[in-house]
Amino acid sequence: MAPRAREAPRNTMNATTRKSPQPASYEQAVGELEQLVLQLESGQMGLDDTLQAYARGQTLLRYCRDRLAAVEQRIEVLDGGELKPYADGERDASA
């Protein structure tokens, strides 16, 4: 009898982890990050899946930071180059 070939490990990552590299929005990226954290904290993922999820999380985190920096820069431009602190009462005063 011939020796059995080793079976390739099954990829158990779900659709959340295998999404496209570029999220459609900041909110989608945050949602996917939250799902990845839940999966990682569950301890139910294999080593390879954990590594892939971690790498995906790093990509999403970088996207979110870049997006926030771009929005902050846009706000500075709109405020004439001066970034002003947000005062919660400002929103109520305009209503």
User: Residue 57 falls within a domain, yes or no?
Assistant: yes
Q: Is 1 a domain residue?
A: no
Domain extent for 46: 26-81
Q: Say if 9 falls within a structural domain.
A: no
Does residue 4 fall inside a structural domain?
A: no
Phi, psi of 51 (to 5 degrees): -65, -45
pLDDT tens profile 5-52 = 544 444 445 554 454 578 999 999 999 999 999 999 999 999 999 999
Question: Which residues does 33 contact at the CB level (< 8 Å), separation at least 6?
Answer: 57, 60, 61, 64
For the chain, give the DSSP string: -PPPPPPPPP----TTTT--SS-SSHHHHHHHHHHHHHHHHHT-S-HHHHHHHHHHHHHHHHHHHHHHHHHHHHHHHHTTT-PPPP-HHHHHHT-
What pTM value is reported for the model?
0.62
- Give 67-91 pLDDT, tens digit per residue: 999 998 888 777 776 766 666 555 5
Residue 73 sits in a domain whose CATH number is 1.10.287.1040
In a domain, 11, yes or no: no
- For residue 21, is it within any domain? no
